[in-house]
Amino acid sequence: MKKLILIVLCIGLLCSAISASANDEWGAIGGTPYTTDYVYVVENETVTLINGNITDSNGVAVIPSSIEGYPVTTLADSLFFVDAMTKKIIIPDTVTTIHCNFNSCMNLTEIEVDPNNQTFSSIDGNLFNKNNTTIIRYPTGKTAPSYTIPDSVTTIAKGAFKYCKFEIITIPSGVTKIESEAFSGPYLKDIYFAGSQEQWENAVGQANLELNENA
């Protein structure tokens, strides 16, 4: 009889596991997982979005402003980790922290930020901080041959132009900091800096600037 009960329990657990895996993703509140459309974690009554089915058939990924009543404030580095579908990402006003770098979104051409967001903004589909002094990400899928950074920018964030397809970039003299791997990739041929040689050397520091000399 004990063996029979054990077998029934095992079958029940197996069926439960199969049923759960048939759903899209997993979420967790207070350490208790359950099935949902997203993978996320709730901490201090805010959501960190880890993964999920957020890109529609047109290639538009709309980040939810809330999940289960909690505001989505953080985008984890695993979000869009492997993604060839997304062409546009829409970020709500609730998001205050972005860890993902969008490097694998090879067809991404536009990042749109809600105007009411107090941390980030977007100009011409590119991601900036709120006051437009730091350019955070230029979408990898854009195919324009060149890009001119706005005069308001003083910092080029790490990996801001990684894998981007333009060959020429113009940097204003107001840029005082260029972080590592800002221009890493095979396409860039020419960098035009509006400031002096000394300003350029101070801004670059230890940044990894890769130019495609064979292109």
**What is the 3-state secondary structure of the chain?**
CHHHHHHHHHHHHHHHHHHHHCCCEEEEECCEEEEECEEEEEECCEEEEEEECCECCCCEEECCCEECCEEEEEECCCCCCCECCCCEEEECCCCCEECCCCCCECCCCEEEECCCCCCEEEECCEEEECCCCEEEECCCCCCCCEEECCCCCCEECCCCCCCCCCCEEEECCCCCEECCCCCCCCCCCEEEECCCHHHHHHHHCCCCCCCCCCC
First to last CA, the chain: 75
pLDDT band of residue 212 (cuts 50, 70, 90) is low
| pLDDT greater than 90 at residue 13 | no
Copy the structure tokens of residue 44.
Answer: 């201090």
Q: What is the mean pLDDT of the chain?
A: 83
pTM of the entire predicted model: 0.81
| pLDDT greater than 50 at residue 52 | yes
* CA dist 27 → 51, 80, 82, 166, 176 (Å): 10, 17, 19, 39, 41
pLDDT band of residue 41 (cuts 50, 70, 90) is very high
| pLDDT greater than 50 at residue 116 | yes
Q: Which residue has the tokens 């609730």?
A: 94
Which is more confident, 117 or 211? 117
Mean pLDDT is highest, among 12-16, 75-79, 121-125, 176-180, for 121-125
Residue range 84-88: mean pLDDT, rounded = 92
Residue range 122-150: mean pLDDT, rounded = 97
| pLDDT greater than 50 at residue 33 | no
Residue range 21-27: mean pLDDT, rounded = 41
pLDDT band of residue 186 (cuts 50, 70, 90) is confident
Report the pLDDT value the prediction gives residue 206, as an integer from 0 to 100: 58
Least confident of 33-47, 59-73, 103-117: 33-47
| pLDDT greater than 80 at residue 100 | yes
Report the pLDDT value the prediction gives residue 32, as an integer from 0 to 100: 41
| pLDDT greater than 80 at residue 171 | yes
Residue range 186-198: mean pLDDT, rounded = 92
pLDDT band of residue 208 (cuts 50, 70, 90) is low
